[in-house]
Amino acid sequence: MTLVLATHAPADPDSVEPEIFASIQGEGPSIGRPVVFVRLSRCNLSCVWCDTAYTWHFEGDERPHSAGLTFDRKRNQVKLSPEDVAQRVRDLGHPHIVLTGGEPMLQANALADMLDLLPDHTVEVETNGSVTPSPRLDVRIDQFNVSPKLAHSGNPADLALVPERLDAFATDGRAFFKFVIAEPADLDEVLALRDRYRFRPGHVFLMPEGTDSATLRRRMEWLAPLCLEHGFRLSDRMHIHLYGDTRGT
């Protein structure tokens, strides 16, 4: 069994390197923490503003994306064994892993094989919340960062907001919810979801949509008062301020 990972997309398609890297977690409850990121390829959803479209929007994919770009699969996707991925994680020297994507849950069994080789690492998963984790993977997860996709993502609600999955995460103390907000009106959907699924207090973050510092700061000016009003937590995107919208950061 192999893992399908995103790459750093070098000029030479025959020397692609997987996007496995050490950095500072830039979002959500672990913001500021040194971690090793493992970025998986492929996604079951297609957000029009996705900032990692190179993990799924390959040539021939007609799903819309605001940038209007498609990516060459050979240059942006690489397959590695769980043993190879585990060794690369060890070599980076940090005991906390963030599995991200794409949608990591699509490769749950291969990820479980990889994590079996890293028994002393703690594990955080960034997921859109629409895919059920396999039992073998679920037992190794210390924290779920669940980012349900609102209407402005362009995804149909019946694909993005799966009731049984949101119910399960809402009752799981490991799960935190992170909602991407582009306009103040997006909050109405968050409030409706909170009321329906009774998210745990302190487990809901609002995060501005944006891939540059100026946009993030402008949106946080009106997002911060909304968090104060409704008791939500505010998440920045620290990596954007530090490194810009670049891979491997």
**Look-up of token digits 């937590």:** 233
Which residues does 131 contact at the CB level (< 8 Å), separation at least 6?
44, 103, 105, 106, 165
Does any domain span residue 249? no
- Could you list the residue range(s) of the whole structural domain that residue 90 is in? 3-243
Q: Considering only CA atoms, which of 125, 124, 156, 133 is closest in space to residue 45?
A: 156
Per-residue model confidence as pLDDT tens digits over 93-112: 999 999 999 999 999 999 99
Q: What gap in Å lies between CA 165 and CA 31, rounded to an integer?
A: 25
Does any domain span residue 248? no
Q: What angle do CA 203, 29, 158 make, to 5 degrees?
A: 55
Structural domain count, the chain:
1
pLDDT of residue 83: 98
Per-position DSSP letters for 1-12, written without gaps between them: --EEEEB---S-
pLDDT of residue 13: 63
Label residue 58 by pLDDT band (50, 70, 90).
very high
Per-residue model confidence as pLDDT tens digits over 187-237: 999 999 999 999 999 999 999 999 999 999 999 999 999 999 999 999 999
Task: Write out the two tokens for 244.
Answer: 């810009």
Angle, helices 82-92/108-116, rounded to nearest 10 degrees? 50
Does any domain span residue 75? yes
Length of the chain: 249
Average confidence score pLDDT of the chain: 96
Mean pLDDT, rounded, for 147-162: 98
Measured torsion, CA atoms of residues 51, 202, 227, 151, in degrees rounded to the nearest 10 = 40
**Look-up of token digits 């505010």:** 234
Does any domain span residue 236? yes
**Which domain CATH number covers 19?**
3.20.20.70
Cβ–Cβ under 8 Å, residues 190 and 150: yes
Q: Considering only CA atoms, which of 82, 81, 76, 85 is closest in space to residue 55?
A: 76
